[in-house]
Amino acid sequence: MFEMGIGSGDLDGTFCGPSLAAFAGAVTDALDTGTAFLSYWPTTFAHSSGRTCIDWEIRS
């Protein structure tokens, strides 16, 4: 599975996992442990609606 930067000219894409299931597993592992997925770190914040939301911080 690849992330494509449509509109940015990134035609090669970034490899995110061998399947959608592996990608979903890696993302949920990052959320559970608070560790990075690729260069993205999950953080949570309270939305004005009162719901908790996830933001992904880009770190090198």
Structure tokens at 51: 């719901």
In this prediction, what percent of the chain has a pLDDT beyond 70? Answer: 95
Q: Give yes or no for residue 43 having a pLDDT over 80.
A: yes
Max distance between CA atoms of the chain, in angstroms, equals 39
The whole-number pLDDT of residue 13 equals 81
Cβ neighbours, 10 Å, residue 57:
10
CA distances from residue 15 to 22, 49, 51 in whole angstroms, order as listed: 12, 34, 31
Q: Average of pLDDT values for 8-24?
A: 85
CA–CA separation, 5 and 57 (whole Å): 17
Q: Average of pLDDT values for 13-36?
A: 91
Q: Give yes or no for residue 22 having a pLDDT over 90.
A: yes
CB 36 within 8 A of CB 24: no
The whole-number pLDDT of residue 56 equals 92
